[in-house]
Amino acid sequence: MKRRELERRLRVAGCYLKREGASHSLWINPKNGALEAVPRHTDVKEPLAKKILKNLNAE
């Protein structure tokens, strides 16, 4: 999955970017307080993208 597609799905679910790290971006879901690191690569492998979406309740 492309990183932009993953970020779009996170935004649609109500998540927002909390801060930028050196190689990852931290996203938070304000509804449940879940925090997840998203790597800043062009492509994010599908299993990792699904894990991020699941942990942030953005499926």
Between CA 50 and CA 48 the distance in angstroms is 5
* 11 to 8, 16, 48: CA distances (angstroms): 5, 6, 17
pLDDT of 59: 75
Q: Which helix (H) or strand (E) holds 24?
A: strand 24-29
> Strand order of the sheet with strand 16-20?
16-20, 24-29, 34-39
Residues 10-25 have pLDDT tens digits of 999 999 999 999 999 9
Residues 32-53 have pLDDT tens digits of 999 999 999 999 999 999 999 9
pLDDT of 14: 95
Domains of the chain: 1-54 (3.30.920)
pLDDT of 58: 83
